[in-house]
Amino acid sequence: MSKNRGHVRTALGFALVLAVGIAGCSSPSPFSRPTSVPALSGLMDQTPAATRTAIRGARDKKLAVVFSKTTGYSREFNDLMRRQYSAWVVQFSLPHLAADVDAVLSDERLTSALFGPLRSSFREVQLVRDIPEGFESGADYVGILDLDLNMDIESSFPSQRIKHIAKVSLLFIDPELGAGPLVSSSQEHLQETFAKGADGNIRDTLYAVKTARTKMLSDFEADFSQKVSR
C-alpha cells in the first residue's frame, strides 16, 4: 500500500481478523488520510527567506500558532484511530485497555505536550486561523505547526511490519515575513506484530505508537530549547 496515496491500514487489521477466526475474509477497510502537503500550503504563496537561526528574549514576546493542513489531517486520523480502537476494546471485552487507548491516542494530551515548551518560553501563546490574524492580534511571531502522524503497513502475513510515523515542525515567521528558526523532529518506529489475539495486538500497537510519539516530543523539545530561549 503506497503512503503516497495517503492510505493507511490500521495496525490491528489482519491480526484482529485472525483473533476472531475469520481469516478467510478480505482485509478490513483501511483508514484513509489525505497525503501530506507542504507546511505553508494554503498559508503563504512561497517559502519566506530565512532571516534567523534562533530567538532570544522569548519571555517578552507573543506567539501566535497556526495549524498546517497536514496537522488537521493528522488530528482527524488520530481521532479516527482512537474511536476505532475504543470500539475494538468494547467488541473484544478488553475494558482494562480502555484507559491506555485514551491516553496514547489523546489529542488533548498530544497538543498540550507540543505547546508545553512554547508556553514555558513565550509571554503569551494563542492559536489563530491564519498568518494575518496572528499579526493582527499583536503577535511578535507566528509559528506554523506542521504535525504529520501516519502509519504504513509493509507486510500483513504471517506477521505485520508496521512503520509508525511521527513528525513535527514549527517554523517561526516575523511581521516582515522573514522566517526562522525551524524547530523539528522526525521519528519512525517499526513494529513487528505476530498474531497474539486482540489483547496482545492492541498492546503492541499502542506501545509502538507511544514509542514513536514520545521520541518525537522529546526531540522536538530538545531542538526547541536549542533555538528558542527566554
In the numeric block, which cell numbers belong to residue 30?
483501511
Q: pLDDT tens digits for 111-122?
A: 999 999 999 999
Domain-located, residue 137: yes
Residue 15 predicted with pLDDT over 60 = no
pTM of structure: 0.86
- The DSSP element (H or E) to which 148 belongs, if any, is strand 141-155
In the numeric block, which cell numbers belong to residue 119?
508556553
Least confident segment among 9-13, 35-39, 72-76, 125-129: 9-13
CATH code of 189's domain: 3.30.160
How many domains, in total, are found in the chain? 1
Domain-located, residue 39: no
pLDDT at 31: 63
pLDDT at 1: 38
Domain-located, residue 20: yes
In the numeric block, which cell numbers belong to residue 145?
505547526
Domain-located, residue 222: yes
- pLDDT category of residue 11 using cuts at 50, 70 and 90: very low
pLDDT at 185: 98
- pLDDT category of residue 74 using cuts at 50, 70 and 90: very high
Domain-located, residue 21: yes
Q: Name the DSSP letter for residue 167.
A: E
pLDDT at 197: 82
pLDDT at 158: 67
Query: Mean pLDDT over all residues of the chain?
Result: 86
- Tell me the β-bridge partners of 126: 64
Cell 489531517 found at? 73
What share of the chain has pLDDT > 90, as a percent?
74
Domain-located, residue 14: yes
User: Taking a C-beta distance cutoff of 8 angstroms, is the pair 160, 14 a contact?
Assistant: yes
Domain-located, residue 45: no
**Residue 109 structural domain:** 3-34+52-227
Residue type, 40: L
Domain-located, residue 61: yes
Query: Using CA atoms, how far apart are residues 69 and 53, in angstroms rounded to an integer?
Result: 25
pLDDT at 195: 73
Nearest alpha carbon to residue 160 among 28, 34, 36, 32: 28
